[in-house]
Amino acid sequence: MRLALSAAALILFLTGPVHAQGKLKVFILAGQSNMEGAGQIAINPRSKNGGKGSLEYLVKDPKTAKKYAHTVNRDGSWRVRDDVWIWYLGRKGGLGVGYGAKSRMIGPEFQIGHVLGDAFKEQVLLIKTAWGGKTLVKDFRPPSSGGEAGPYYTEMLSHVRAVLANIGKLFPAYDGKGYELSGFFWHQGWNDGLKKPWVEVYEENLANLVKDLRKEWKVPGLPVSIGVSGFGGRGQKVDRRLGIIAAQHAVAKRPEFRGRVVSVETRDFFRPREESPSGQGYHWNGNAETYCLIGEAMAKALLEASGAKKN
């Protein structure tokens, strides 16, 4: 049998996937453990609920299989997107599963990447900088809040700077046509909700974070998507927790940010323990569906704020 390759097919064979022309779309993801992500990928064979809340369960359950069909290949293996790259504290590659706090987990980045990849013709790069147990009042403290800038604020900037300076080395398929910082995603709040004085300054600190990052990255109108700290769902009654949520929503309502900074309500995405892989409420009970819904909502809100239209 003769095998004939067209010119286009030959180029693809020799060089790999051909991506759309245009500047690389870069998005920064930051926060603490819930941006790291604790959504369980595989069904635990010892699970007492049949694996509910895991990503594997979602793609097999007739009720959700269609919605999450985009995450798997025809042979059932997990899909890896070559039109969306991700870098997460040294881990890097095409977007797929395993970029959560541990390789067996996913976080908001999973659906953020899928939504953005579907929305843009240009190549997408996610740079994720998240560490568990970190505050905005101290660890991520922005310079304009006064005092010393937080060590994880400066580390976040350092990582972003290093990745952008070495895109070609990190991602050899990069075409060298430049990049544009296109959005910032923030999902954090647990640790600041531990003390009332920290809650009281959270709104101002978060507003300062937005302003300082825009200045640092020289993108005055950088779109920002805030996934509010809604673990516990609508049943959350702790005033400090509700105070963080209120502060996160308040930042998006500030006239100076109107239309370009959005807060995303997440409380309705909380799933109870019996429908989840774990009972860690502060980690959304390890529920992959929750993390997917958070990421999807955050990405769609940012696209609306940026005025981007889906393909």
- Non-local CB neighbours of 293 within 8 Å, separated by 6+ positions: 111, 266, 269
Give residue-wise pLDDT tens across range 24-45.
999 999 999 999 999 999 999 9
Give residue-wise pLDDT tens across range 266-302.
999 999 999 999 999 999 999 999 999 999 999 999 9
Centre a 10 Å sphere on the Cβ of residue 106 and count the other Cβ atoms it contains.
Answer: 26
The mean pLDDT of the chain is 93
CA–CA gap between residue 15 and residue 115 (Å, rounded): 26
Whether residue 15 is predicted with pLDDT greater than 90 in this model: the reply is: no
Provide CATH code, domain 19-306.
Answer: 3.40.50.1110
Centre a 10 Å sphere on the Cβ of residue 10 and count the other Cβ atoms it contains.
Answer: 11
Give residue-wise pLDDT tens across range 121-176.
999 999 999 999 999 999 999 999 999 999 999 999 999 999 999 999 999 999 99
Centre a 10 Å sphere on the Cβ of residue 19 and count the other Cβ atoms it contains.
Answer: 16
Whole-number CA gyration radius for the chain: 20
Whether residue 8 is predicted with pLDDT greater than 70 in this model: the reply is: no
